[in-house]
Amino acid sequence: MDLEEASAHAGNITLITLAAALAAPALAYAQDAPAALAAPAAQVEPAGQAERATAASEGDPWQGFNRSMFSVHESVDEALVEPVARGYRAVTPGPVRQGVRNFLRNLRAPVIFANDVLQAEGNRGLTTVARFAVNTTIGIAGVFDPASRMGLEYHDEDFGQTLAVWGVDEGPYLFVPLMGPSNVRDTTGRIVDGMIDPLSYLDGDDATTFRATRGVLTGLSVREQLLESVDDIRRDSLDPYSTIRSSYELLRDSAIQNGQSDVQDLPEFDDISESEMPTGTGDYSQHSGSIETPVTAQHLAQSETKPTSHATTGDLK
């Protein structure tokens, strides 16, 4: 590899790294960015809290590692990603930001369609194709969304959801800095989605730059939408790590079931007693079920991308 090729390669890695940093908040809520934090949901009975604590312990066996990675993620977000997102909001008019969101969602249509087919969701697959055709043409490359006004509502799908529909267990919860919350099944799904995406097979420097730019814009757009939501979690939750974990799991379950799961009976941030909080900075594995405090129901339900897919258990459907 000569010097020129090495420089280009380094530049591509820098762009991809930045894209991952900006995309991290996008994964914090599994797929979609809530518009605003709504009124708190009903309180949860103590017995229910105990049951969720046991479930959390079983679903998050790597909590010590995950909490450490979450701390790294938060440091990067506060130092880099959040300020960039606030600057993006400050200098970009709302209609332009909406156009960016529309454009990026339209680029996902091939991946969504493939997963519609793999889940035997014929009607939803036809909707995806029709939306792509309408918005790519009439909507000027997807910048506008006339398909929605025609009754062709947007839905999202990914291979993590497809695996859930096929009965694959989600596996342990996993939090990776600059990637966000996930689990073994969804991490595998992200890799497969990248292989399904036709844009992954474009060659040349321009293609690499386009993919990197797309990643940066996706993360930036979603992080901008989550500014208030993340602020509220940091301010009101006794344990933001558990709040984000629970929110992720709830949203994934809702998406896998095509939005049919109930997201209304969620606790307020302050419904969890301080005795359940981890203390100090030691081994968090002893507190694996400490707090299961999701974001409020209406907060989650206001996702820009409605949850999608059929299944009885699993991620966002």
Length in residues, the chain: 317
Integer Cα distance of 77 and 221 in angstroms: 14
Q: Which residues form the domain of 41?
A: 3-270+283-301
Q: Is residue 278 part of a domain?
A: no
56: which residues sit within 8 A by CB, 6+ positions away? 242, 245, 246, 288, 289, 290, 292
Task: Report residue 211 as tokens.
Answer: 């993919």
Confirm whether 93 is domain-assigned: yes
C-alpha of 7 from chain center: 32
For residues 259 and 85, what is the distance between their CA atoms, to the nearest angstrom? 28
DSSP structural state of residue 295: P
Confidence (pTM): 0.70
Is residue 235 a part of any domain in this protein? yes
Asked whether residue 310 is assigned to any structural domain, the reply reads no
Residue 311, domain member (yes or no): no
Question: Phi first, then psi: what are they for 303, rounded to 5°?
Answer: -55, 140
Q: What is the pLDDT along the chain (317 residues), one digit of tens a residue?
A: 444 444 444 444 333 334 433 343 434 334 444 433 333 333 333 444 554 455 456 789 999 999 999 999 999 999 999 999 999 999 999 999 999 999 999 999 999 999 999 999 999 999 999 999 999 999 999 999 999 999 999 999 999 999 999 999 999 999 988 788 999 999 999 999 999 999 999 998 899 999 999 999 999 999 999 999 999 999 999 999 999 999 999 999 999 998 765 544 443 433 333 333 444 333 333 333 333 333 443 444 444 433 344 443 333 34
Position 66 in a domain? yes
Distance CA 37, CA 155 (A): 22
Please give the helix or strand (H or E) that residue 267 lies within, else none: none
**What is the DSSP code (8-state) at residue 174?**
E
Residue 207 lies in a domain: yes
Q: Is residue 65 part of a domain?
A: yes
* 154-157-161-166 Cα dihedral, nearest 10 degrees: 100
Count of domains for the chain: 1
Work out the angle between the directed axes of helices 3-27 and 82-91 (0-180°, nearest 10).
Answer: 80
